[in-house]
Structure 1
Amino acid sequence: MSAARADTAARRELFVDVSLEMTGKDVDLLLGASGTIPPGSRVNVTYLENETLEMRVAAARTARKLDLVPVPHLSARRLRSLGMLQETLAALHAVGATDDVFVVGGDPSVPYGPYDDALSLIRSGLLESYGVARVSIAGYPAGHPEISSARLWTALEAKAAELARRDVAGDIITQFGFDVDPVIAWIEQVRHRGISMPIRVGVPGPAGIRRLLRYAARFGVGTSAAIARKYGFAITNLMGTAGPDRFIGELADRLDPGVHGQIRLHFYTFGGLQTTSEWVAASKASWTEGRR
């Protein structure tokens, strides 16, 4: 295979089974974007504290009706009781939205209830009792502003081991970033530690540069001037939008399935569901046809 064809094949492979993210408020946006999202695509429904369970359930129900796979988020530290977890799982199960879930510790520094982290939810055994067959967990290639690297690795290994012990399928969804270097290094470390589950690399969909930087600051993602230029925009020029073309291209160039295992893309829709889904569809078609 020529270098150009191999390059196109690597990019095409990354666009197999991409996943997207939405909030409970985005039901109308999901309906508007549905024509550009392939059936069977995973759509993560985030857990925002200013949204109700009813809103999250409605979003998951809509995704299911559109022949998509809802992946509701469960935020461990925001759950105030066992009863609240049961109520959440029961409501999601009623609309067929507990096959896949994403379990994360959550932002509160002090848990609201009995669950200190994602591992405690996995260990509860309640997920399987409500039909959960796959659990996604979080990965942090760029680190976490409030959690040490050692603790992140310990937690990741413990969650992966617990899912394997329970015979529950799992994958890792990473934070988004602007630099491929730490992503590749982190994936290699994951594999070195014996964790073989699929990884979905977080990528911001096309969005305004100001918005991207605002989210980067919120989630502790490094955005030095050098990293920004490498991604394709300048911190000193905040006008316009930026897309992940360059990032995805470099990622595809550097991935080796024999070393890095199964890698997919997870899009954070900071610029909107429709904008992101249209960009994904156009990019997938372009790389499939070899126009890039």
Structure 2
Amino acid sequence: MDDDDAVRRLLADFSIEVTPRETAALDEAATVLAPGTRVYVTDLAGVDLQRALDAAARIRERGLRPVVHLAVRAIPDLAALDRALGRLVDAGVEDLLLIAGSREPAGELENTSQVLESEVFARRAFASIGVAGHPEGNPGVDEGAVDLALASKDKLAREDGLPLYVVTQFGFAADPVLGWERRMRDAGITLPVRVGLPGLTSPARLVKFGLSCGVGPSLAVLRKQTGSVLKLATATYRPTDTVRGLARAVAADPESLIAAVHFFPFGAVVPTARWATTGQKDGLGAERT
């Protein structure tokens, strides 16, 4: 398999996300995205669930597949969780991404395992349930604790038949992701992985988000790629090298857990959708970062 074929295979089922405030961009993005493409609706502090449900309805109307983020720490207790899940099901939402969220807990719920193990969650059936992965660590959380949490979710998926998978935090290099994936696999984890990648936005903005989100080793790669301060401010970042590196590794390792990529466009929804769709169809042979 040549590099372009490997890229096409990796991008065949890519996903992308929008905030509830960005759904107007879907009118144009939907003209290039394949029907059924997963579009994640990001959780934003201060934006209520109804906005996310409205965004999900708009995504579905355009022939795309909404995946709604549910931030556990924004939910005070199991009764509130029960109500939120009921609203999601009533609105026809079939796919979730469960995250802890960066805010302080609103009540007794602090992590996604509490939700997954709860009786109120067990009463609903979702087609897919994403959980977070952190190849470059999670700020303020011990690496061993992060690994154990993911292992417990993997065990829960196997024992209870939950359709879990992992979406990783975004990064700028393939090597940290590949090393983390091998470590998870060696620990017995079998959950499929969607690798988070930044979209086509400015490197300066990516550095800002990377520092705030705890992305570590691959930030050095971004700075090396973008060079001078002037270039950092004016360039458009493309994750070409990262996609190629991941695609080669996955093509060479049939046991890899990496199944697809997920794009965090940081406002550049349409350019990212166009770039990823082009790579999905044609590979990235002519692309240069």
**1:250 matched to which residue of 2?**
245
The sequence identity of aligned pairs, in percent, is 30
Task: Give deviations 1:253-292, integer Å, cap 9, x for gaps.
Answer: 222342313421000011421111111112222218x656
**1:201 matched to which residue of 2?**
195
Query: Separation in 1 of the partners of 2:65 and 2:136?
Result: 28
- Which structure carries more relative contact order (alpha carbon 8 Å, separation 6+)? 2
Secondary structure, counterpart of 1:141 in structure 2:
coil
Contact residue 27 and residue 58 of structure 1 kept, 8 A: no
Task: Give deviations 1:28-62, integer Å, cap 9, x for gaps.
Answer: 11222111111111111111112111111101111
Contact residue 195 and residue 258 of structure 2 kept, 8 A: no
**1:240 matched to which residue of 2?**
235
**1:80 matched to which residue of 2?**
76
Quote how far apart the aligned CAs of 1:125 are: 3.2
Supply the AA of the counterpart residue of 1:274. V
Query: Separation in 1 of the partners of 2:22 and 2:113?
Result: 29
User: How many positions carry a matched residue from both structures?
Assistant: 284
Query: Separation in 2 of the partners of 1:19 and 1:27?
Result: 15
**1:54 matched to which residue of 2?**
50
Q: Does 1:165 align with 2:159?
A: yes
Query: Separation in 2 of the partners of 1:136 and 1:183?
Result: 17
Q: 1:225 to 1:284 in 2, by over 3 A?
A: closer
Query: Structure 1: which 4+ aligned runs deviate by more than 3 Å?
Result: 223-226
Q: 1:71 to 1:194 in 2, by over 3 A?
A: same
**1:133 matched to which residue of 2?**
127
**What TM-score do the two structures reach when normalised by structure 2?**
0.92
Can you give the 5+ residue segments of structure 2 that lack an aligned partner in the other structure? none
Moved more, 100-109 or 148-157: 100-109
Query: Separation in 2 of the partners of 1:107 and 1:82?
Result: 19
Q: 1:218 to 1:226 in 2, by over 3 A?
A: closer
Q: 1:79 to 1:225 in 2, by over 3 A?
A: closer
Query: Separation in 2 of the partners of 1:251 and 1:224?
Result: 14
Contact residue 78 and residue 120 of structure 2 kept, 8 A: no
Query: Separation in 1 of the partners of 2:168 and 2:100?
Result: 14
Q: Does 1:182 align with 2:176?
A: yes
Secondary structure, counterpart of 1:263 in structure 2:
strand
Quote how far apart the aligned CAs of 1:81 are: 2.4
Quote how far apart the aligned CAs of 1:8 are: 2.0
Q: Does 1:8 align with 2:1?
A: no
**What TM-score do the two structures reach when normalised by structure 1?**
0.91
Query: Separation in 1 of the partners of 2:260 and 2:171?
Result: 15
Task: Give deviations 1:206-226, integer Å, cap 9, x for gaps.
Answer: 101221111112211126774
**2:101 matched to which residue of 1?**
106
Can you give the 5+ residue segments of structure 1 that lack an aligned partner in the other structure? none
Query: Separation in 2 of the partners of 1:166 and 1:54?
Result: 30
Supply the AA of the counterpart residue of 2:249. R
Secondary structure, counterpart of 2:254 in structure 1:
helix
Quote how far apart the aligned CAs of 1:170 are: 1.2
